[in-house]
Amino acid sequence: MAVALLGCDGDSAPDVVQSGVGIVAEGCAGTTKEFGSGIAVDRPGHVVTTAHTVAGATAITVVDSFGVEFPATVVSFDKDADLALLDVPGLAAPPLAVGRAEVGDALAVVWSPDNGVRPVSVMITRRLDITIEDIYVEDEVRRSGLELVGDISVGDSGGAVVDGSGNVVGIIYARSRPRPQTAFATDDGELERLLSERPLDATDRCQ
C-alpha cells in the first residue's frame, strides 16, 4: 500500500475546533521546522500528535486555536503506531475523550500555519490492518487503523478524527499517493494504548 507521511509543512464543531492545536517542531540542527496538527485529549495539558512530526525535535511549540504558543515536551513516543503524547503546561484547550470508531461521517480537526485550526468533513470507509514501515524506515510493523475519504492535505498529520459525539476516534498519519482523497489514521485502540501505557521515550534521534 503506497502512503505518504503527512508532515513538514455538527453542533459540537466549535467546541471540537477549540481542542485542536498546531505543532511546530524544530529539527535536530535547529535549522528546519516540521509542522503538524494535534488534539487535546484525556486530561488538561495533554496533546496527541504523530510521532514522525516530533521525532528528533530539539524544541516543540504547540499553537492553540487562538494562536497562543506554548512550549511542549514529549512524555510518550511510539514509533510503531506513529503516535506521541505531549505535555503542554498552561494549555487551556478542552481535552476530548477517546471513543470507538465506526464507519460513517466524521470530522477531522487539522491545523496549518496559514489557516489555523479548522474542521474538515471526512468519511470513515473502513477499519483496516496494514503492514507499514516504522517512522525511521527501519522495520515493518503491523498497524491497526482507519481509512478515510476527504480533503486531507500534506501537513495534516496529527489531526484528530472526531465522531458525532465529539470523541477522538483516530489520529491522521498518512495520505495515499495514488488516491489523494484517501487518508489513513491510527485507530482508537492504538490511541488508548498510548494513553494507558505512557512509555517515556525521549525523541533523541534525527530522521
pLDDT single digits (tens) 122-139: 999 999 887 776 677 777
Question: What's the CA gap between 198 and 176, in Å, rounded?
Answer: 29
Q: Are residues 76 and 130 in the same domain?
A: no
**Mean pLDDT within 167-189:** 90
The domain boundary, picked from 72, 94, 116, lies at 94
Cα distances from 201 to residues 7, 79, 145, 154, 166, in angstroms, run 21, 10, 23, 26, 29
Confidence (pTM): 0.86
**Does the residue 62 lie in any domain?**
yes
The domain boundary, picked from 49, 67, 94, lies at 94
**Does the residue 99 lie in any domain?**
no
Confidence tier at 154 by pLDDT (50, 70, 90): confident
The domain boundary, picked from 94, 121, 138, lies at 94
181 has pLDDT over 70: yes
Confidence tier at 31 by pLDDT (50, 70, 90): low
- pLDDT in the model for residue 48: 98
**Does the residue 56 lie in any domain?**
yes
Domain count within the chain: 2
**Mean pLDDT within 92-118:** 94
**Mean pLDDT within 108-131:** 92
Structural domain harbouring 133: 104-192
Question: What's the CA gap between 12 and 164, in Å, rounded?
Answer: 8
Q: Are residues 188 and 122 in the same domain?
A: yes
Q: Are residues 78 and 117 in the same domain?
A: no
Q: Are residues 131 and 186 in the same domain?
A: yes
Q: What is the DSSP letter of 17?
A: H
Q: Are residues 18 and 41 in the same domain?
A: yes
- pLDDT in the model for residue 206: 41
Q: Are residues 87 and 151 in the same domain?
A: no
9 has pLDDT over 50: no
95 has pLDDT over 50: yes
For 133, the grid coordinates are 514501515
Q: Are residues 87 and 19 in the same domain?
A: yes
**Does the residue 164 lie in any domain?**
yes
Q: Are residues 57 and 33 in the same domain?
A: yes
The number of beta carbons lying within 10 Å of the beta carbon of residue 47 is 28
Q: Are residues 74 and 110 in the same domain?
A: no
Confidence tier at 27 by pLDDT (50, 70, 90): confident
94 has pLDDT over 90: yes
Phi-psi category of 82—alpha, beta or left, where left has phi over 0 and alpha has psi -120 to 50?
left
- pLDDT in the model for residue 10: 42
Q: Are residues 50 and 108 in the same domain?
A: no
**Does the residue 49 lie in any domain?**
yes
